[in-house]
Amino acid sequence: MDFHHVTVLLEETVDAVVTNPSGRYVDCTLGGAGHSSMILGRLGSSGKLIGFDQDDQAIRHAQELFGQDERITLVNRNFESLEETLKELDLLPVDGILFDLGVSSPQLDEAERGFSYMQDAPLDMRMDPSRSLNAREIVNSWSEEELAKVIWNYGEEKWSKRIAQFIVRARNEQPLETTGDLVQVIKAAVPSAVRRSGPHPAKRTFQAIRIAVNDELGVLDRVLDQALRCLDHGGRIGVITFHSLEDRIVKERMKSWLGRCTCPPELPICRCEAKAMAKVLTRKPILPSEEEVEQNPRSRSAKLRVAEKI
């Protein structure tokens, strides 16, 4: 498979994160290797890049692309193991870490991966094919209450309860096996007036189930403090998010690194001993240009936030 992916906020991210040509950098979301290619282009002969991806297709694509380049080390793991892996490789501390969250274009476009509501395929949605939990299991075995909660919390879908109710009703007759089966159920659940306007009726539910399958928000929540610990002083972390749930986690975590006092206002002196660990370099997130959105509509919702360890 041709692992082609249009990289979002490419120059903006690399400009913000890569400050030292002989430094060590980590691309936690290798994907189609767009960011990694540009980072390597900025590094001198003594620079080092570590590329993580839990998808072995992305790793194979990068092996072909970078060949014998000794500056890059490829790691076929979820970036949740960031700190542990860098310790194993004896590559701590590093000068910059990049996260480009969400699903890559090849995963969306390859029908059999089951990510897309536009193509009929087995219900899967695993970014790491070795994981046991897949979309089929969630849709066919989780309770109506659990489904409604996931679709609301992770998809911000206002018809979540009705969609969950319709899923359970449909699977009681026969299991939902394919993305097409699920799309039909969602279309039946969402009122026709709503279907006629706005995005595809299945978009939010598919996002929610994908996030649940891959524990995307949990992994993000657990990795951000790790990433800060892995940085050298003056090192930078850049995170590209694609929906408000991810962005909220990143924004709040970066805010927590500023070391603002959390004591109750009635206390005469600070007892929490809050200490600043980083400064946030993006008061407002960096967004893609109109030109980029025109060329790559999938970039429309992207936001880049950057922090520097102090």
CATH of the domain at 301: 3.40.50.150
What does the pLDDT read at residue 49? Answer: 98
Q: Which two tokens stand for residue 3?
A: 């692992």
Query: Can you give the C-alpha Rg of the chain in angstroms?
Result: 21
Distance CA 304, CA 177 (A): 36
Instruction: Choose one of 195, 214, 233: the last residue of a domain.
Output: 214
Instruction: Provide the domain count of the chain.
Output: 2
Distance CA 193, CA 273 (A): 55
User: In this structure, is residue 1 part of a structural domain?
Assistant: no
Between helix 144-155 and helix 160-173 the angle, nearest 10°, is 140
User: In this structure, is residue 65 part of a structural domain?
Assistant: yes
Residues 6+ apart with CB under 8 A from 242: 101, 102, 301, 302, 303
What does the pLDDT read at residue 1? Answer: 44
Same domain for 256 and 124 = no
β-pair partners for 136: none
Distance CA 274, CA 276 (A): 7
User: In this structure, is residue 64 part of a structural domain?
Assistant: yes
CA distances from 254 to 180, 183, 263, 277, 290 (A): 39, 37, 19, 9, 27
Distance CA 291, CA 199 (A): 22
Cis peptide before 93 (omega within 30 of 0): yes
User: In this structure, is residue 81 part of a structural domain?
Assistant: yes
Between helix 216-230 and helix 244-256 the angle, nearest 10°, is 30
Q: Which two tokens stand for residue 121?
A: 């395929």
User: In this structure, is residue 28 part of a structural domain?
Assistant: yes
User: In this structure, is residue 141 part of a structural domain?
Assistant: yes
CA count, 13 A, side-chain hemisphere, 271: 6
What does the pLDDT read at residue 74? Answer: 98
CATH of the domain at 119: 1.10.150.170
The model's pTM: 0.89
Residue with tokens 């001993």: 273
User: For residues 236 and 308, is the Cβ–Cβ distance under 8 A?
Assistant: yes
Distance CA 263, CA 189 (A): 48
Q: Which domain holds residue 21?
A: 10-100+216-309
Distance CA 228, CA 99 (A): 13
Same domain for 265 and 193 = no
Which of 211, 207, 228 minimizes the C-alpha distance to 298?
207
Same domain for 144 and 128 = yes
Same domain for 95 and 237 = yes
Q: Which two tokens stand for residue 268?
A: 């005469």
Same domain for 173 and 39 = no
Q: Which amino acid makes up residue 113?
A: R
Distance CA 197, CA 285 (A): 29
238: left (phi over 0), alpha (psi -120 to 50) or beta: beta
User: For residues 127 and 58, is the Cβ–Cβ distance under 8 A?
Assistant: no
β-pair partners for 100: 240
Distance CA 24, CA 230 (A): 11
Same domain for 117 and 53 = no
Task: Give the chain's residues under pLDDT 50.
Answer: 1
Residue with tokens 């082609």: 4
